[in-house]
Amino acid sequence: MGVLVLVSLVLITLSFRAGEDGPLSSVQSTGASVLRPFAVGFERVAQPFRDGYAWADSLLSARSEAERLRVENRELLQRAIQSEFALQENEYLRRLLTYLDSPRFPDDFDPVAAEVIGRPAGAFTQAIVLAAGSSNGVRVNDPVVTADGLVGLVIRVTPDTARVQLLTDEEAAVSAVDLRTSAPGIVRHARGTRETLVLDRVPKQDRVKAGDDVVTAGWRASGLSSLYPKGIPIGKVTSVGQTDTDLYQQVQVDPFVDFGSLDAVLVLVPTERRP
């Protein structure tokens, strides 16, 4: 028993102190590659059950969901026409100005589709493991998205797998803007709940309202730039509060992505890095 505890403590120390370049990292990388086929196999077996559960769950809310989507579809059609007009105008003006911009989503990225094959147990970290790694062009700090919006950031990579820190992790933070008012802030995990986010550091003079969309800011300054390209949807503002003593507003954001049911994601690999 004492030997096993000692071995565990040595593993923790080596893993923690040596980081990505240590000898343990290559052992873990090899181990993850060996275990990957088993994980993919388990995932394939579990998928029909997950789909069945999702199908049964969706039946309960199908009617109200269909009506909501019809209304939303009408609004989006109108907005798409206006956006197309604005896009053409924007492109024309950019050409006139030779405007220098930070990487844009999705134009400057090649997505790598990857299956989610694992999650750490317990409530200590919010992360997922993907069945794609450095052999697929994935690197540390690559953003990860789904069709709904931002999922997180790649924090560890082996040749065949990658670990992604979810936006709901305590240590994750993303510079973001309110789409309607352009009010800047930092999206981070809301304390105490599992899947709620807050838009922090929003100045009081910015009139953020419930229902506003929040997207990544994608800033660039003095040779530095955000890890996330601009314009990735993050979530919708659900409530805004402020007190006289607070310096900033308290903005709660409901994420577009359902972090509890991630089956597959897209890793955004910069186009310039692809062979």
Partner 1 sequence: MSAGAVLRGSFLVFVAAMLQTVVVSSVVIGGGAPDVLLVVVVSLGLIRGSIPGAIFGFLGGLVVDLMTLDTMGITSLVLTLVGFWAGRYGETTGRDRRFAPVIAVGAITILAGLFGYVLHYMLGEEVVARHALVTALIPACVLNLALALPLHALTRRVVGEDDRTAVSPDVEVLAR
- Write down the least CB distance from residue 157 to partner 1, Å: 9
Residue nearer to partner 1 on the CB measure, 5 or 100:
5
Q: Could you give the 3-state DSSP secondary structure of residue 150?
A: strand
Which residue from 96, 97, 123, 247 is in contact with partner 1, where contact means CB under 8 A?
123
Decide: 22 and 15 in contact? Cβ < 8 Å.
yes
Buried b (16+ CB within 10 A) or exposed e, 120-146: eeeeeebbbbbbbbeebbbeeebbbbb
Going by their DSSP bridges, the two strands 109-118 and 127-130 should be labelled as: antiparallel
Applying the rule CB under 8 A, the residues between 48 and 67 that interact with partner 1 are: none
Largest distance between two CA atoms of the chain: 72
Write the DSSP assignment of 10-73 as a string of letters: HHHHHHHHHGGGSHHHHHHHHHHHHHHHHHHHHHHHHHHHHHHHHHHHHHHTHHHHHHHHHHHH
Q: How many residues bind partner 1 (CB under 8 A)?
A: 49
The answer to whether 140 contacts partner 1 (rule: CB under 8 A) is no
Q: How many CA atoms lie within 13 A of 106 on its CB side?
A: 13
CB atoms within 10 A of CB 95: 9
Residue nearer to partner 1 on the CB measure, 7 or 81:
7
Region binding partner 1 by CB under 8 A among candidate stretches 82-90, 104-112, 207-215, 256-264: 256-264
- Write down the least CB distance from residue 162 to partner 1, Å: 8
The answer to whether 85 contacts partner 1 (rule: CB under 8 A) is no
Write the DSSP assignment of 201-268 as a string of letters: EEETTS---TT-EEEE---EETTEE-SSPBT-EEEEEEEEE--SS-SEEEEEEEESS-GGG--EEEEE
- Write down the least CB distance from residue 164 to partner 1, Å: 10
Residue nearer to partner 1 on the CB measure, 155 or 227:
155
Residue nearer to partner 1 on the CB measure, 15 or 175:
15
Region binding partner 1 by CB under 8 A among candidate stretches 29-37, 61-69, 103-111, 211-219: 29-37
Region binding partner 1 by CB under 8 A among candidate stretches 65-73, 138-146, 200-208, 258-266: 258-266
- Write down the least CB distance from residue 45 to partner 1, Å: 9
The whole-angstrom separation of Cα 176 and Cα 205 is 17
Tokens coding 238: 């659900």
The answer to whether 7 contacts partner 1 (rule: CB under 8 A) is yes
Applying the rule CB under 8 A, the residues between 155 and 214 that interact with partner 1 are: 156, 158, 161-163, 170-171, 191-194
Residue nearer to partner 1 on the CB measure, 16 or 85:
16
Residue nearer to partner 1 on the CB measure, 44 or 274:
44
First to last CA, the chain: 50
The whole-angstrom separation of Cα 107 and Cα 270 is 9
Region binding partner 1 by CB under 8 A among candidate stretches 3-11, 72-80, 177-185, 227-235: 3-11
- In the complex, the residues that contact partner 1 under the rule CB under 8 A are 1, 4-5, 7-16, 24, 27-28, 31-32, 35, 38-39, 42-43, 46, 117-125, 127, 129, 156, 158, 161-163, 170-171, 191-194, 260-262
